[in-house]
């Protein structure tokens, strides 16, 4: 471990993003900051989040309803503040992004517009063992349209003995079902294995087959550099409380490609906040959508969840996705090296089921603990190393470039080694 400690010191000293760590609240265990590797589940609180919320509380106290127009950030147009910085993170044009509701709700609302089964073309292609909420959303949507999930949902499974998927297998599956597919809907980064799919390639294959292609970016937004507009993705949605550090249950983001900006033929479940801004308060019948993603909004902006998100987006805008990705590549490779060294020294098998190729993953590593089970995970937690546990035997650890250090990774390695030797 000594050479890893030395390397970590060197890397931390050289790290141009090291100063961002101080801008986050790191939970303490026994009075000492923990090594927090669960930013893939709930990102840490930016130090600026509290003031952002207090500002809105103060403006509410001061202005009451007039805060809609007279708050420092007027609530009437609050959501607009998030559009450009979020668009930069997901590779979109400003008008292609808006924030509303929670992620699962948005998957449903987007499917109202983009899952339009017709004739033979009614099936949905997704990854096997998708995040449960996505499975429930897809199943309930196909049932809502009168189909049976066993028939209408096509799942792509890993090859025998493997954990992750091959893009060529996904393409082959798309090709095999090309006349039946209405929608391809996959998690951009798989929540369980940490695999980042070649989204451009799969989007192309899906669209060439005549399907609509949507992505769940819960584990991708703020983690990996995506280019939704250029890749010609039809739609996407993500939560903002994982890598985007905006707090539990915070507002979700959606992307709708520019080509649908003025498409009023698409069915949609409408609400007043999607209605033309100049006429919103005329309260007249007849829905006239704002062009672009904003036209999909239903309710007025949830300012108390958008405020910490805005604070967080400002940090992303300053640090920049390119620099974050650079550090992420180095930090994750360093964690891989550490895990491999520890497993070797402890003489145990600790299989990394996340792809080894950096371009096929974000910052999460999923470790399949063959010998030891949950006791190893408990040992990590008890010693101030936050990871998470997923049945049947997987420990997920995400070294997040904004606030994790190389020293955190070494600490993870040390505690892991202790646990394995126990």
Ligand X SMILES: *Cc1c(COP(=O)(O)O)cnc(C)c1O
Question: With binding defined as CB under 6 A, does residue 218 bind ligand X?
Answer: yes
Question: With binding defined as CB under 6 A, does residue 134 bind ligand X?
Answer: yes
Burial class, 94, CB count within 10 angstroms (exposed 0-12 / middle 13-18 / buried 19+): middle
Handedness of CA 70, 57, 238, 366 (dihedral sign): positive
CB of 388 to ligand X, least distance (A): 12
What distance in Å separates the CA atoms of residue 122 and residue 291, rounded to the nearest whole number?
28
Q: In terms of CB distance, is 81 or 189 closer to ligand X?
A: 189
Q: Which of residues 36-95 bind ligand X (CB under 6 A)?
A: none
Question: With binding defined as CB under 6 A, does residue 243 bind ligand X?
Answer: no
Question: With binding defined as CB under 6 A, does residue 364 bind ligand X?
Answer: no
Question: With binding defined as CB under 6 A, does residue 102 bind ligand X?
Answer: yes
Q: In terms of CB distance, is 42 or 350 closer to ligand X?
A: 42
Q: In terms of CB distance, is 134 or 294 closer to ligand X?
A: 134
Alpha carbon 402 to its chain centroid, in Å, reads 15
Q: Is-contact 314 84, C-beta < 8 A?
A: no
Question: With binding defined as CB under 6 A, does residue 104 bind ligand X?
Answer: yes
Q: Which of 24, 36, 122, 131 binds ligand X (CB under 6 A)?
A: 131
Q: Which of residues 178-207 bind ligand X (CB under 6 A)?
A: 187, 191
- φ/ψ of 388, rounded to 5, equals -135, 165
Using CB under 6 A, count the residues that bind ligand X. Answer: 12
CB of 237 to ligand X, least distance (A): 9
Question: With binding defined as CB under 6 A, does residue 103 bind ligand X?
Answer: yes
Q: Which of 48, 133, 300, 372 binds ligand X (CB under 6 A)?
A: 133
Spatial neighbors of 252 by CB under 8 A, at least 6 apart, are 99, 100, 101, 102, 103, 105, 106, 237, 238, 239, 240
Question: With binding defined as CB under 6 A, does residue 21 bind ligand X?
Answer: no
What distance in Å separates the CA atoms of residue 342 and residue 397, rounded to the nearest whole number?
15
Question: With binding defined as CB under 6 A, does residue 239 bind ligand X?
Answer: yes
CB of 414 to ligand X, least distance (A): 29
CB of 99 to ligand X, least distance (A): 13
What distance in Å separates the CA atoms of residue 356 and residue 78, rounded to the nearest whole number?
41
Question: Tokens 């669960």 label which residue?
Answer: 38
Question: With binding defined as CB under 6 A, does residue 219 bind ligand X?
Answer: yes
Q: Which residue in 187, 251, 192 sits closest to 214, CA to CA?
A: 187
Q: Is-contact 22 220, C-beta < 8 A?
A: no
Q: In terms of CB distance, is 67 or 214 closer to ligand X?
A: 214
β-pairing, 252-256 vs 235-238, is antiparallel
CB of 66 to ligand X, least distance (A): 32
Alpha carbon 131 to its chain centroid, in Å, reads 12
Only one of the segments 97-105, 266-274, 343-351, 389-397 lies at the binding site for ligand X (rule: CB under 6 A); that segment is 97-105
Residues contributing to the site for ligand X (CB under 6 A): 102-104, 131, 133-134, 187, 191, 216, 218-219, 239
């Amino acid at each position: 471990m000594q050479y890893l400690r030395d390397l970590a010191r060197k890397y931390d000293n050289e790290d141009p993003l090291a100063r961002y760590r101080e801008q986050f609240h790191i939970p303490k265990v026994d009075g000492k900051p923990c090594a927090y590797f669960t930013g893939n589940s709930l990102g840490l609180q930016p130090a600026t989040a509290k003031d952002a919320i207090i500002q809105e509380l103060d403006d509410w106290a001061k202005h009451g309803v007039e805060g809609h127009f007279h708050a420092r950030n007027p609530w009437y147009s609050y959501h607009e503040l998030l559009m450009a910085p979020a668009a930069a993170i997901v590779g979109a044009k400003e008008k292609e992004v808006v924030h509303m509701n929670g992620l699962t709700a948005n998957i449903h609302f987007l499917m109202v517009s983009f899952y339009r089964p017709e004739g033979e073309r009614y099936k949905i292609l997704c990854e096997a063992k998708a995040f449960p909420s996505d499975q429930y959303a897809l199943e309930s949507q196909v049932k809502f349209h009168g189909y049976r999930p066993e028939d209408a949902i096509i799942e792509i499974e890993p090859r025998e003995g493997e954990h992750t998927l091959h893009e060529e297998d996904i393409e082959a599956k798309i090709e095999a079902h090309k006349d039946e597919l209405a929608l391809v809907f996959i998690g951009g980064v798989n929540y369980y294995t940490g695999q980042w799919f070649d989204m451009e390639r799969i989007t192309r294959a899906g669209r060439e087959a005549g399907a609509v292609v949507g992505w769940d970016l819960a584990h991708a937004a703020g983690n990996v550099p995506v280019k939704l507009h250029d890749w010609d993705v039809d739609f996407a949605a993500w939560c903002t409380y994982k890598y985007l550090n905006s707090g539990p249950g915070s507002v979700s983001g959606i992307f709708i490609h520019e080509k649908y900006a003025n498409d009023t033929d698409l069915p949609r479940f409408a609400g007043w906040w999607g209605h033309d801004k100049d006429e919103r308060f005329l309260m007249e019948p007849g829905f006239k959508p704002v062009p672009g993603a904003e036209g999909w909004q239903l309710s007025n902006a949830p300012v108390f969840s958008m405020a910490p998100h805005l604070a967080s987006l400002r940090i992303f805008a300053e640090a920049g996705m390119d620099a974050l990705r650079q550090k992420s590549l180095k930090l994750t490779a360093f964690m891989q090296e550490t895990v491999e060294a520890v497993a070797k020294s402890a003489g145990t098998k600790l299989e990394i089921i996340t792809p080894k190729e950096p371009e096929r993953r974000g910052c999460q590593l999923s470790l399949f603990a063959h010998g030891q089970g949950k006791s190893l995970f408990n040992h990590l937690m008890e010693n101030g190393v936050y990871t998470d546990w997923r049945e049947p035997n997987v420990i997920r650890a995400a070294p997040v470039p904004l606030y994790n250090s190389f020293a955190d990774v070494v600490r993870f390695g040390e505690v892991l080694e202790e646990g394995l030797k126990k």
